[in-house]
């Protein structure tokens, strides 16, 4: 029997994109999840989370490319599989979800959670075109420092540096 940690380690070895799939009905198992998402590309892993032999009604699918994941989100989000409409979005770590919740109450950086925004973010052009370039971020909250800026963007790839511009120790609200 595989744990969630085993699955996460397997998916982390690939440079593809991990999707979160929610609202699975009881008839959906690992094989059915794999079958439903296979038309969209190469899947490295598909796992329905279980507890005491029963579905927890959510799972994860890991693709090998951004393009494949984007297509799966677009086609599968809202599609009825079994008897339920699926919720399909880019997987977010607990840290990402917590950071998003904090920004909703405190202001600051916003991370993408809407599947339409995820689709834009995951397009092939965006995955390849912007590697090795500088990214300018403006409208930063006073609470955002170099470390927080790095933390917010780390899930999206390798970062060589992250710097919030300062003037006499106060944020200039961009970096």
Query: Of the residues 129, 144, 167, which one is the last residue of a structural domain?
Result: 129
In angstroms, rounded to a whole number, what is the distance separating the alpha carbons of residues 73 and 154? 22
CB 34 within 8 A of CB 72: no
In angstroms, rounded to a whole number, what is the distance separating the alpha carbons of residues 132 and 163? 16
Are both 75 and 59 inside the same structural domain?
yes
Structural domain tally of the chain?
Answer: 2
Are both 69 and 5 inside the same structural domain?
yes
Are both 63 and 137 inside the same structural domain?
no
Are both 144 and 71 inside the same structural domain?
no
Q: Does the model's pTM come out above 0.75?
A: no
Are both 29 and 92 inside the same structural domain?
yes
CB 116 within 8 A of CB 60: no
Are both 12 and 78 inside the same structural domain?
yes
In angstroms, rounded to a whole number, what is the distance separating the alpha carbons of residues 173 and 37? 42
First and final C-alpha spacing in the chain: 46
Are both 123 and 138 inside the same structural domain?
no
For the record, the structure tokens of 97 come out as: 């979800």
| Residues forming a β-bridge with 60 | 20, 47
Are both 83 and 63 inside the same structural domain?
yes
Are both 48 and 101 inside the same structural domain?
yes
Are both 84 and 153 inside the same structural domain?
no
Domain region containing 117:
1-129
User: How many beta carbons lie within 10 A of that of residue 58, not counting itself?
Assistant: 16
Give, for 76, the enclosing helix (H) or strand (E).
helix 66-76
pLDDT in tens, the chain (175 residues): 445 555 455 454 444 589 999 999 999 999 999 999 999 999 999 999 999 999 999 999 999 888 899 899 999 999 999 988 999 988 888 887 777 677 655 554 444 444 444 444 544 444 444 455 667 777 888 888 888 888 887 777 777 778 888 888 888 887 7
We report the CATH number of the domain holding residue 151 as 3.30.70.330
Are both 79 and 137 inside the same structural domain?
no
pLDDT for position 116: 45
For the record, the structure tokens of 126 come out as: 């965006």
pLDDT for position 95: 81
Are both 106 and 152 inside the same structural domain?
no
CB 140 within 8 A of CB 132: no
């Amino acid at each position: 029997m595989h744990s969630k940690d085993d699955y996460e380690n397997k998916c982390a070895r690939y440079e593809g994109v991990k999707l979160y799939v929610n609202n699975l009905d009881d008839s959906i198992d690992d094989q059915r999840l794999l079958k439903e998402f296979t038309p969209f590309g190469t899947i490295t892993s598909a796992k329905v989370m279980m507890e005491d032999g029963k579905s927890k009604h959510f799972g994860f699918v890991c693709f090998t490319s951004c393009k494949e994941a984007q297509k799966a989100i677009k086609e599968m989000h809202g599609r009825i599989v079994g008897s339920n409409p699926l919720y399909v979005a880019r997987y977010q770590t607990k840290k990402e979800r917590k950071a998003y919740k904090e920004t909703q109450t405190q202001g600051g950086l916003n991370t993408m959670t809407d599947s339409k925004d995820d689709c834009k973010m995951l397009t092939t052009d965006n995955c390849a075109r912007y590697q090795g370039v500088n990214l300018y971020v403006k409208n930063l909250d006073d609470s955002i420092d170099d470390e927080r800026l790095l933390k917010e963007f780390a899930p999206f790839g390798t970062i060589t540096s992250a710097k919030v511009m300062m003037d006499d120790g106060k944020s200039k609200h961009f970096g």
